[in-house]
Amino acid sequence: MKLQKNKQNVRLGSVVIPIHYQIILEPDLLAHTFKGEETIMITLAKQVREITLHSKDLKIMSATISFGTQSHTAKKISYDSKRETATFLFDQVVPKGKAKLHLTFAGILRDNMRGFYKSRYEVNGQERFMATTQFEATDARRCIPCFDEPAQKAVFQVSLIVPPDKVAISNTLPTDVREHASGFNIVSFAPTPKMSTYLLAFIVGDFEYLEKKTKTGVIVRVYTVPGKKHQAEFALSCAVKCLEFYNDYFDIPYPLNTLDMIAVPDFSSGAMENWGAVTYRETAILVDPEHSSTQTKQWVALVVAHELAHQWFGNLVTMEWWTHLWLNEGFASYIEYLAVDRIFPKWNIWTRFLYGDHGPALRLDALKHTHPIEVEVHHPNEIGEIFDEISYSKGSAVIRMLANYLGKDDFKEGLRYYLKKHMYKNAGTVHLWQAFEKVSGKPVEKMMTTWTKRPGYPIVRIREQDAHLHFSQERFFASPLSRREVTDTTLWNIPISFTGPRRSAQQFLMTKKNMIVPRTPGSWLKFNTNETGLYRVRYDASLLDQLRQPIKDNQLPADDRFGIIRDLYALSEAGDISAVVPLSMLPSYSNEPEYMVWVEAVSGLGRINNLYAGSSYEEPLRTFARSIFAPAVKLIGWKPTVNESHSHALLRSLLLGSAGAYGDTKVIAKAQSLFMARNRLAIPSDLRSVVYSIIARYGGEKEYNALLLMHQAASLHEEKNRIESALGHFTDPRILNKVLAYSISSSVRLQDRNGLIAGVILNPRGRKIAWTFIKKNWSKLSADYGEGWHLMSRMISPLGRATTKQEADDIKKFFKTHKAPGAARTIEQVLEQININHAWRIRDEKALREWLKK
Listed in sequence order, the DSSP H helices in 662-766 are: 665-676, 688-697, 701-713, 717-727, 733-743, 750-762
> Is there binding between residue 270 and ligand BES (CB under 6 A)?
yes
Measured over the CA atoms of residue 157, residue 162, residue 165 and residue 167, the dihedral's sign is: negative
CA distance 326 to 376: 12
Closest CB 376 distance from ligand BES, rounded Å: 19
With CB under 6 A as the contact rule, the residue among 214, 294, 318, 333 that binds ligand BES is: 333
How crowded is residue 184: how many other Cβ atoms within 10 Å of its Cβ?
15
CA distance 272 to 117: 15
Picked from ligand BES, Zn ion, none, the partner binding residue 188 (CB below 5 to 8 A depending on kind) is none
CA distance 264 to 114: 13
Question: Among residues 99 and 140, whose Cβ is nearest to ligand BES?
Answer: 140
Residue 235 near residue 180 (C-beta atoms within 8 A): no
> DSSP states of 476-529 as a string?
--S-HHHHHH--------EEEEEE-TT-PPEEEEE-SSEEEEE--SSS--EESG
Listed in sequence order, the DSSP H helices in 267-349 are: 294-310, 325-343
Tell me the site size for Zn ion, rule CB under 5 A. Answer: 2
How do beta strands 97-108 and 59-67 pair?
Answer: antiparallel
Beta strands across the sheet bearing 85-94? 48-54, 85-94, 76-80
Of 149, 273, 307, 592, the active-site residue reads: 307
Q: How far is CA 252 from the centre of its chain?
A: 27
User: Per-residue string for binding with Zn ion, 357-396, x by CB under 5 A?
Assistant: ----------------------------------------
Listed in sequence order, the DSSP H helices in 407-458 are: 408-422, 429-440, 444-453
Picked from Zn ion, ligand BES, none, the partner binding residue 136 (CB below 5 to 8 A depending on kind) is ligand BES
Measured over the CA atoms of residue 240, residue 242, residue 243 and residue 247, the dihedral's sign is: positive
Question: Among residues 359 and 557, whose Cβ is nearest to ligand BES?
Answer: 359
- All residues at 6 or more sequence positions from 546 whose CB lies less than 8 Å from its CB, including other chains: 523, 524, 525
How crowded is residue 757: how many other Cβ atoms within 10 Å of its Cβ?
29
CA distance 148 to 141: 6
Closest CB 234 distance from Zn ion, rounded Å: 20
With CB under 6 A as the contact rule, the residue among 109, 130, 144, 272 that binds ligand BES is: 272
With CB under 6 A as the contact rule, the residue among 312, 387, 629, 771 that binds ligand BES is: 387
Residue 279 near residue 134 (C-beta atoms within 8 A): yes
Closest CB 349 distance from ligand BES, rounded Å: 13
Site for Zn ion in 293-312 (CB under 5 A): none
Picked from Zn ion, ligand BES, none, the partner binding residue 633 (CB below 5 to 8 A depending on kind) is none
With CB under 6 A as the contact rule, the residue among 57, 329, 703, 807 that binds ligand BES is: 329
Question: Among residues 374 and 413, whose Cβ is nearest to ligand BES?
Answer: 374
Picked from Zn ion, ligand BES, none, the partner binding residue 433 (CB below 5 to 8 A depending on kind) is none
With CB under 6 A as the contact rule, the residue among 141, 368, 790, 794 that binds ligand BES is: 790
> Is there binding between residue 337 and ligand BES (CB under 6 A)?
no
Closest CB 610 distance from ligand BES, rounded Å: 25
Inter-CA distances, 690 with 289, 293, 438, 718, 730, Å: 19, 12, 51, 14, 14
User: Per-residue string for binding with ligand BES, 288-317, x by CB under 6 A?
Assistant: --------------xx--xx--x-------
Q: Report long-range pairs for 508-517 (Cβ below 8 Å, ≥24 apart).
A: 509/447, 510/460, 510/471, 510/473, 513/472, 513/473, 513/474, 514/470, 514/471, 514/472, 515/470, 515/471, 515/472, 516/468, 516/469, 516/470, 516/471, 517/468, 517/469, 517/471
CA distance 215 to 220: 11
- All residues at 6 or more sequence positions from 816 whose CB lies less than 8 Å from its CB, including other chains: none
Pick the piece of the chain touching Zn ion (CB under 5 A) from 16-24, 326-334, 544-552, 724-732: 326-334
Closest residue by beta carbon to Zn ion: 332
Residue 441 gets which letter from DSSP? Answer: -
Picked from ligand BES, Zn ion, none, the partner binding residue 271 (CB below 5 to 8 A depending on kind) is ligand BES
Picked from Zn ion, ligand BES, none, the partner binding residue 663 (CB below 5 to 8 A depending on kind) is none
User: Per-residue string for binding with ligand BES, 95-134, x by CB under 6 A?
Assistant: ----------------------------------------
Residue 794 near residue 389 (C-beta atoms within 8 A): no
Closest CB 433 distance from ligand BES, rounded Å: 22
Residue 141 near residue 84 (C-beta atoms within 8 A): yes
> Is there binding between residue 203 and Zn ion (CB under 5 A)?
no
Inter-CA distances, 791 with 109, 113, 162, 788, Å: 19, 11, 31, 9
CA distance 443 to 137: 33
Picked from Zn ion, ligand BES, none, the partner binding residue 269 (CB below 5 to 8 A depending on kind) is ligand BES
Pick the piece of the chain touching ligand BES (CB under 6 A) from 170-178, 271-279, 563-571, 798-806: 271-279
**204 has which bridge partners?**
131, 168
Closest CB 790 distance from Zn ion, rounded Å: 12
CA distance 294 to 618: 32
- All residues at 6 or more sequence positions from 6 whose CB lies less than 8 Å from its CB, including other chains: 378, 379, 382
> Is there binding between residue 329 and Zn ion (CB under 5 A)?
yes
Question: Among residues 269 and 473, whose Cβ is nearest to Zn ion?
Answer: 269
Catalytic residue status for 374: no
Question: Among residues 329 and 437, whose Cβ is nearest to Zn ion?
Answer: 329
Picked from ligand BES, Zn ion, none, the partner binding residue 573 (CB below 5 to 8 A depending on kind) is none
Question: Among residues 582 and 822, whose Cβ is nearest to ligand BES?
Answer: 822
Tell me the site size for ligand BES, rule CB under 6 A. Answer: 18
> Is there binding between residue 492 and ligand BES (CB under 6 A)?
no
287 exposed, middle or buried (CB, 10 Å; 0-12, 13-18, 19+)?
A: buried
Residue 313 gets which letter from DSSP? Answer: B
Terminal CA-CA length for the chain: 57
> Is there binding between residue 141 and ligand BES (CB under 6 A)?
no
- All residues at 6 or more sequence positions from 133 whose CB lies less than 8 Å from its CB, including other chains: 115, 116, 117, 143, 200, 201, 202, 203, 274, 279
Picked from ligand BES, Zn ion, none, the partner binding residue 303 (CB below 5 to 8 A depending on kind) is ligand BES
Question: Among residues 26 and 329, whose Cβ is nearest to ligand BES?
Answer: 329
Pick the piece of the chain touching ligand BES (CB under 6 A) from 152-160, 214-222, 241-249, 328-336: 328-336
Question: Among residues 137 and 608, whose Cβ is nearest to Zn ion?
Answer: 137
Question: Among residues 329 and 567, whose Cβ is nearest to Zn ion?
Answer: 329
Pick the piece of the chain touching Zn ion (CB under 5 A) from 89-97, 139-147, 321-329, 469-477: 321-329
> Is there binding between residue 332 and Zn ion (CB under 5 A)?
yes
Q: Helix, strand, or coil here: 804? A: coil
CA distance 312 to 325: 15
Question: Among residues 136 and 592, whose Cβ is nearest to ligand BES?
Answer: 136
Question: Among residues 274 and 293, whose Cβ is nearest to Zn ion?
Answer: 274
Residues across the chain: 854
Closest CB 357 distance from Zn ion, rounded Å: 12
Picked from ligand BES, Zn ion, none, the partner binding residue 270 (CB below 5 to 8 A depending on kind) is ligand BES
> Is there binding between residue 385 and ligand BES (CB under 6 A)?
no
With CB under 6 A as the contact rule, the residue among 84, 148, 273, 724 that binds ligand BES is: 273
> Is there binding between residue 137 and ligand BES (CB under 6 A)?
yes
**In the complex, which residues of this chain contact Zn ion (CB under 5 A)?**
329, 332
**In the complex, which residues of this chain contact ligand BES (CB under 6 A)?**
136-137, 269-273, 302-303, 306-307, 310, 329, 332-333, 387, 392, 790
Q: Give catalytic residue positions.
A: 307
